[in-house]
Each structure stands twice: as structure tokens, then as C-alpha cells.
Structure 1
Amino acid sequence: MIKPMLLQYAKNNLPFDDPNCITELKLDGIRLIVSNMESLRLYTKNTDATDKYPELHDAPLEKGTVLDGELIVTDEQGKPDFEACNARFKSKKLKHQVTFCAFDILMYRGIDVTGLPLHRRKELLEESFEETPYYTRVRPVTGSATQYFDIVKQYGLEGIVIKKKQSKYEVGTRSWSWVKVINWKESEVFITGYNKKDFSWLIGVKEGNKIRPMGTMEHGITKEARVLAWPILRRSKISENNQFIFVEPLLKCRVKFRDYYKSGLMRIPVFQGFLT
């Protein structure tokens, strides 16, 4: 397995314009390495996924080619659907069509090209295969990254990636040469419970006289936030089960999150601070 090069978050999650960088659309799917060395293999960050995607086995790649990219499933509007992509990963019996979107090349005709600058690897990527319904390329966007991010937000897409043109491919490294800017959504929620075994909180939003559950929040909760919340959570207990203590919705906080699941729950809510 090849460990992919990973991204950092852009400072303050803000896009920036730099003539020494390229900009790409960040696709909301599953990171995938496609290797056609001795045989075709498909690798996620943690698993050999070759058997999960038989439609990708007829790859338009010469022997000696290794590509990095994102595996996506698109919805009826043509937007990447992470939930459908994740469901397909768990069960190949589902009929969701996947597409591999290549954005980098690591091996070209049996030669390791990770040490070449990104702009040159992009040229080799263009030469490495003919596109099919299952294999396509992610191409850089010309013009302003800041303006492009505004368009991404308008269409409700995941975000953008800004990459240095001269960057090498740093295998298994989270590098500042590639940074992501995420189109976070924001909301105000109430804390409705907490996990007995870790530091996660249950959250919900008020609808009339009721609280609608929005899922579990694990990210962004600092030690200081837990210390501030604990006296109120402890004295506002309503009930419990094997996993959670349920509390009155007395604490309100601000969160950011990626999107909504089809169930209506928030995807990856991140604590931002308490509200008075």
C-alpha cells in the first residue's frame, strides 16, 4: 500500500491568490490510490479496496502507472454525494456508479515521478490515460482561487485545494504544500447529552417546543469547554442509557459542520464556542 500525501487546512480556512499555486475543486468522496504495476490494485488510506469496485478493474492505464485521486458517486444534480459513496464502499451490491477522479501521478511507465514538480506531474497525468465513464481527471482551475471558492460556496460544494506548482509528492506526509479550504456550514445548537465513555456531546436544534436531534459532536471540544460545561451538565440530568446521559437543553453553542446527512443529522459538527 502507498500512503497518500495529505493536506493541511488553510490558515483561518481562507482562500488566497498566489501565482505560484494552482487551485482544484475538492471532491467529496473517498481518497483512492490506483496502482497498475504487476496487477491492478485499489487502495484507500487504510484498506485494499480492489474487490469492492469491479467496474474499475478495466482501467485505461499502462502497466507501471500509479495514480492518486478521489473516488466519487454523484447525485442527480451531478454533485459528489459522500453518503452514497460511503454506502457503496460498505456494500458493492449497491448500484451506485463510482468514478475515479485522478489528480496526481506517482509512477509513469514504471518510473517514480514523485520527485518532479507538480506542474510536470500534471502534464504526465494528462498523457497517462484516456478518460472513460469510470476514469477521469481533476484539472486545475485558472484565475482567482478566492473567486472560485465563492462559486464553490454558491453551488454547495465541499471546498477547494490550493497546491504549490513546484511541490513534490510527499508520500505519507501532511504537507503545507497542499492546503484545503472547506465550505463549512454554521448553526446554533443545544447540548442535549454526553457520552459516558468519551468527551463527545449530543446536540440538537430547537423546533417549536421540541429539540430535534442533530447527532454527536466529537471535534473542537477543548478541555476548557468541558470544564465550563460540566457543572451545568451534571445538575441537568434527565435520564440515561448504556451509552449516554441525557440532559435538559440549557447550554447553547455555535458549531460548524460539513453538510447534512439524508437523515437530517449534521456531518462532522465542530464546536466553536458557547452562546449566552
Structure 2
Amino acid sequence: MLLPPTQLDEREKPFDDERYIFEPKINGHRLTLSMEGGAVRLYTRHNHDVTRQYPELYNVPIEDNSDFVLDGEVACINPESGSIDFELVMERLTLKKPMQIREAITLLPVHFFVFDILRYKGEDLRGWPLVERKKLLREVLCANNYISPLMSVDNTGVSLFDAIQGKELEGIVAKKKVSKYFDQPEDNWIKIINYNYAVVQIVGYRKNQFGWLLEYRGKNVGILDVAVPSAHKNAFFGVSKVLLTGEDRNFVYVKPQINARVKFRSWTRTGLLRKPVFVEFVV
């Protein structure tokens, strides 16, 4: 049974508030796990059935396995660094061959961090306050090697954010204690991302759709194509006209003389910025 996941708003800075609980933001992808009629089904936030991708999640440590729906984040732990690695779970997600998937259970296992329970024993729980759903989740869900409840703290988001910064985790999520799952006011569920920052050079732009080519220390680090205000786009194109160096089928290239500060989730293993966001031009 697929139940649409609640979405998150975003805030720049962590905060303390007795109306909220705070959780680590796991650097994986959203997953809904449904047990109905003895069969597990797994869905991404975009309603893609990924049941075959993660066989290690079929054995859910809930005593009454007749009917429930769990919401959480699935992730991979890098065996070398011991840290959660977004690229590794993306590798698992894209595996196609049954043999590859079976081998990955041993070589690249996933872990499902459960932060909510939406249905249990035939009852829709989405109208319950969050704290009541959390209480039930702690009561019925144990932990095994692949599935566990996600930790949370009451009231104190700043100290949790400081702790996750020290461990280079993705951020935290604040959730109102009284929030119902299907209610989505702006301040019900809030993510605060532990961004990295860099000053990059814009060295070109796409021809057919918006996107700036970026370099950092002389190396290509990807494309910036979101969160750039119209005024900044216009300013760039005005200046770039005198900096043109050439073009090809897809891009127009310019001298690396326009600097921009960007924030981003992390560096990929190939040296690209993950999800860069424009902050400002740097003169």
C-alpha cells in the first residue's frame, strides 16, 4: 500500500523550540515500506516500486507483520570511511540484474532508518499527532542489521546540528510534535542542510536551456542550473558578451573571470558539486 510521503520545507539555520522534535537528516533516499497480506513492497517518494532492489529489507523486525506502513530513509554505509554515502545507495538503486542485487546484499548492504509509522493493524495513523506515532513506532519496531528506528531529540535543534556538523552528516529535520502526517503547513516539517561552500568560476553556459558551467581550481565541477535569480542571470549574460572564447553544439564558453559563491551538499567521488545552489557573485 503506497501512502504519499509528507514533504519538507527548508530553513537556513538550526533552532531550539519546545514544539519540535529534531532528527538527523540521513543522506540516502526516501523510502516507504508497506507490509500487506504477508508481502513487503518498497516505494520511492516518486511512487517507483523498488521492492526488488533491497531484499535485505524484507524481514521487518515487527512482531505483528500483518499490516503496516513505515516511512524513512534508506542509505548505505561506506565500508572504508564508516560514513553514510549517497553515491553508494544510488548504485544499489540502479542495479538491474538479480545476481548483482544478491551480491550487493553482502558487498553493499543498505540500512533503512525509520522515522514514522503510517498504518498499523489495519488502522490509518496519519491523523495521529507525530509524538503518538513516534511512541507507537518505538513500541512495535525493534532493530536488526538492516532496519532500525531513527533517533530523535526534543526541543534542542542547535546542539544536534552542531553534532552532525562534526560528523559531516547532511543536516537535521525539525518536526512539530502535534503535526499530522497529511497536514503540510510551511513549518510542520523543516530541513536544515549542513551545506558546504565554495567560490567557483563560471566558464560557460548551455545554449538550449539555462545552466552555467563551473570550474573550481581549474577543474570542471559541474553545472549550476537552479536557484539563480533572474537579475543575476541577466547580469551574467550582459558581462559574458565580452568574455566569449568559443562554442560547440551544446555550450558557449567564456573566460573564467566571473566568480560565484555556491553552496552544495557534498563533493562526489568524481569531484563534482552535489546539488549546487547559487548564493552570490564574488567581485
Query: Fold match, TM over 0.5?
Result: yes
Shift of 1:142: 4.5
Superimposed CA distance per residue, residues 41-80 of structure 1 (whole angstroms, 9 cap, x where no aligned partner): 0000121111111221223341211000000001234321
Aligned equivalents of 2:69, 2:108: Cα separation in 1: 25
Partners of 2:21 and 2:176 within 8 A in 1 = yes
Partners of 1:23 and 1:140 within 8 A in 2 = yes
Partner of 1:148: 160
Aligned equivalents of 1:241, 1:174: Cα separation in 2: 46
Aligned equivalents of 1:253, 1:156: Cα separation in 2: 24
Aligned match for 1:83, one of 77, 81, 87: 87
Partner of 1:41: 41
Aligned equivalents of 2:233, 2:22: Cα separation in 1: 38
Aligned equivalents of 1:270, 1:174: Cα separation in 2: 24
Matches within 5 A, 1:67-146: 67-75=70-78, 76-91=80-95, 93=100, 94=104, 95-142=107-154, 144-146=156-158
Question: Greater shift after overlay, 84-93 or 232-241?
Answer: 232-241
Superimposed CA distance per residue, residues 82-103 of structure 1 (whole angstroms, 9 cap, x where no aligned partner): 0111111111624311011100
Shift of 1:239: 2.6
Aligned match for 2:216, one of 205, 209, 212: 205
Aligned equivalents of 2:32, 2:202: Cα separation in 1: 39
Note if 1:178 corresponds to 2:181: no
Letter in 1 for 2:256: P
**Matched-pair identity in %:** 36
Aligned equivalents of 2:206, 2:108: Cα separation in 1: 34
Unaligned runs of 5+ in 2: none
Aligned equivalents of 2:128, 2:35: Cα separation in 1: 20
Partners of 1:202 and 1:216 within 8 A in 2 = yes
Aligned match for 1:160, one of 164, 172, 175: 172
Partner of 1:244: 251
Shift of 1:241: 2.6
Letter in 1 for 2:91: A
Superimposed CA distance per residue, residues 20-53 of structure 1 (whole angstroms, 9 cap, x where no aligned partner): 2111001000100000023210000121111111
Shift of 1:148: 1.6
Note if 1:51 corresponds to 2:52: yes
Count of aligned positions: 269
Letter in 2 for 1:51: R
Question: Greater shift after overlay, 54-63 or 14-23?
Answer: 54-63
Aligned equivalents of 1:5, 1:175: Cα separation in 2: 12
Aligned equivalents of 1:96, 1:218: Cα separation in 2: 32
Aligned equivalents of 1:202, 1:91: Cα separation in 2: 30
The 1:141/1:78 distance shift into structure 2, 3 A limit, reads farther
Aligned equivalents of 1:63, 1:243: Cα separation in 2: 54
Shift of 1:143: 5.9
Question: Greater shift after overlay, 243-252 or 180-189?
Answer: 243-252
Unaligned runs of 5+ in 1: none
Partner of 2:225: 218
Aligned equivalents of 1:44, 1:78: Cα separation in 2: 25
SS of match in other structure, 1:127: helix
Aligned equivalents of 2:173, 2:74: Cα separation in 1: 16
Aligned match for 2:68, one of 65, 80, 85: 65
Shift of 1:237: 2.2
Give me the TM-score of the superposition, normalised by structure 2: 0.90
